[in-house]
Amino acid sequence: MKKSTGAQALTLLLLAAGPLAAQKKTFDRADFKPVSASPVNFTPYQKTDFAAAGTPDETPITLPNKKTVKLSEYLRSLNQVERSLASMGFARNRPQATVVASRYKLSTALAVSGVAPTAVAMAAAAPRKMNTQMVARFSDKQLRIERLKTLRSAMVAAANADRINALPNEKFDRTFDVSPPTFNVEGYGVKVVAKFVLKGETDPFVIAAADRNEATLERLMKETNSSYTAGINLTASSNLPELGGLTAYQLDAEFTARSNKTQKHSSKARLQIMQQVLINENRNDIAQDNYSFNHNRALTYNKLIGAADIFTYGLNLFMPVDFYLAAGNVGANIDVELKRTGITGTMGPRASQSILLETSLTELLGAGGELIGNTVDAGVGGELRLIEGGLDYGFSAGLGINNGRIVFINDMYGEANLSLLRGRLFTYYQYPVFKCGTSIITRFKDLSCWELRRVENELFNSGSAVTFSKKVVDEDKSEYVSW
């Protein structure tokens, strides 16, 4: 039997914490619960159900899977499969073409009921674009100026140089936890830990009213000790039954703009996915006044992360299954500008990762040890997206000039949009049943005479996704300075 790959694009944010494939796991018979525990009577198929009584047993027929078998071989294989299903409560004359024979025990409580079991066929996850309004807000200088015109004004004290220079640095720290609760469904777990950071301190200084322009502001700030930092951290990890814990997506980014001409800006960003580093910036030596960091990186990959032998009810054998982690367009978009007067930018981590199931099962045996693989095909299928989506973060901090006045810029926007735990995983086997009476010898090429019966053993079925959508912060706290 050929190696079978399901139509699965199973989204999961995973990075192997160790060589999972080194030790093969087992989903044993006891790990599954039969859907029906009451056996039903079974009446074996006879040759006369499909052909005339005098038809030789050796007569070849071609099945819908393009394999050729002897009539007696087809009859024997069909009876072996249907007898096993009858012992599990599935009648030979059942109306359903597809049935679920068993479910992984952790899945039973949350399995979707009243829905015909079919292979999930979700559209491929498309890259999620960053919030366009947020990008404009933190990249369009003219738009920022228009926003400043509406800022609240504080009392402006007399410009006493000695008093101003003696003022302590004004510090601020805006840190927001973006972490949703840890989700666990049917033994599958997803944990996302994330935060947005905007912090810093402003060193007050004297600037004459007549000199309040952007050029003078930058020149004078080079003599002060102000600093402004923006950062984002995102770690996503998951847990798979029998395969263990996996940590996948890790982004740590922190950028600091320093005003003093003798001090250096710092730019740090590290994005690691599946043991592959996509972004690795670690600089503390940026001496120039202005520095831009602009990286939009995405990764596509397919990597083996584990293997298991999975018991298959009905055939009563173990199916070897490999678990692959695949992804398209998983990465981050980072655009940051550092100046002596402050920092501004946007960051957008994105995830679109998948698990692919593959089986290398090559032979199928009946209860008596006979090969039944010409009649019965087996494989894996389904789709499970554990996490899909991303974060949007925009920020601006520092000093600016508006209408001849000094403005402390302190603007921050952050949101999270994630879909978690959606989909279905299963193993299956399928076989054809001839439905056109005793004419199998003359009509086996007529595909309309065949019903393809399918038996699935469910590993996971979450139903609908858990959605975590939250605007974490959207507040411009900019104001005119009071010194």
3-state secondary structure 321-343: EEEEEEEEEEEEEEEEEEECCEE
* pLDDT given for residue 240 in this prediction: 73
Q: Is the pLDDT of residue 120 over 70?
A: no
Nearest to 227 by CA among 175, 263, 269: 263
Q: Is 345 helix (H, G, I), strand (E, B) or coil?
A: strand
Residue-averaged pLDDT of the chain:
83
Return the DSSP state at 160: -
Cβ atoms of 457 and 98 within 8 Å: the answer is no
Q: Which residue has the higher pLDDT, 178 or 243?
A: 178
* pLDDT given for residue 161 in this prediction: 74
pLDDT band at 54 (very low <50, low <70, confident <90, very high): very high
List all residues 6 or more positions away from 219 whose beta carbon is below 8 Å from its beta carbon.
none
Q: Which of 107-116, 186-195, 313-322 has the highest mean pLDDT?
A: 313-322
Q: Which of 189-198, 311-320, 432-441 has the highest mean pLDDT?
A: 432-441
Query: What's the one-letter identity of residue 74?
Result: Y
* pLDDT given for residue 126 in this prediction: 61
Dihedral sign for Cα 309, 311, 317, 323, please: negative
Partners of 411 in the β-ladder? 396, 476
* pLDDT given for residue 59 in this prediction: 96
Least confident range of 93-102, 125-134, 203-212, 328-337: 125-134
pLDDT band at 387 (very low <50, low <70, confident <90, very high): confident
Q: Return the C-alpha torsion angle 93, 96, 99, 101, nearest 10.
A: -20
Q: Which residue has the higher pLDDT, 183 or 169?
A: 169
Average of per-residue pLDDT across 388-410: 94
Q: Is the pLDDT of residue 4 over 50?
A: no
Q: Is the pLDDT of residue 99 over 80?
A: yes
Q: Is the pLDDT of residue 117 over 80?
A: no
Q: Which residue has the higher pLDDT, 286 or 122?
A: 286
- With residues binned 3-state (H G I as helix, E B as strand, rest as coil), the percentages for the chain, rounded to 5, are 15, 50, 35
Q: Is the pLDDT of residue 268 over 90?
A: yes
List all residues 6 or more positions away from 139 whose beta carbon is below 8 Å from its beta carbon.
335, 344, 346
* pLDDT given for residue 116 in this prediction: 36
